[in-house]
Amino acid sequence: STDLAQLVPKTLLREIDYPRLTHLPRYLKALKLRADRWRQNPAKEAERSRALSPWIARQRTLPRSDTRYWLVEEYRVSLFAQELGTAEAVSPQRLEREFAHAASYAVTGSSAIQPASASSPVPSAPPKPAPVPISIIPTTSKKAAPLKSLGALGDLFRK
């Protein structure tokens, strides 16, 4: 329930943009799968929770506009609900690199280094494939017999 409150606060719609909002259903499904699996195998889920906990502590210090915040959510999905997939590649090494990059930016204050929130774009859904046009079989000079069922409609179109 704490994870849910953290993921979906009352101010959520003011804090994130639409492309990020489209990933929310996947994050919610991952939370549900995690809860279901916790009942089945608490020891395994506790181990995964220990792997996630340092990143959650760091995440809670970040605004939702920071890409690292959502990278931690993707890592949560990769740990607890792999079958849902992630919007971008994520690993403890990548998280460490992103947080270290932001820390070096904060220390140096150099304008040449961009903060992590500006370094990577918001992942979007994959493009939909273009529809394949359907070719219609030319009619013959003879009048065709009437269709006897809706299943026969498939014979009118070439695949």
Per DSSP, the residues of 87-117 read SS---HHHHHHHHHHHHHHHHH--TTSPPHH
Q: Give CA–CA dist 99/115, Å, rounded.
A: 10
Greater confidence (144 vs 6) lies with 6
pTM of the predicted model as reported, rounded to 2 decimal places: 0.62
Q: Give CA–CA dist 53/58, Å, rounded.
A: 9
Q: What are phi and psi of 135, to 5 degrees?
A: -95, 140
Under 8 Å between Cβ of 114 and 105: yes
Predicted confidence (pLDDT) at residue 149 exceeds the cutoff of 80: no
Domain ranges in the chain?
A: 2-119
pLDDT at 112: 41
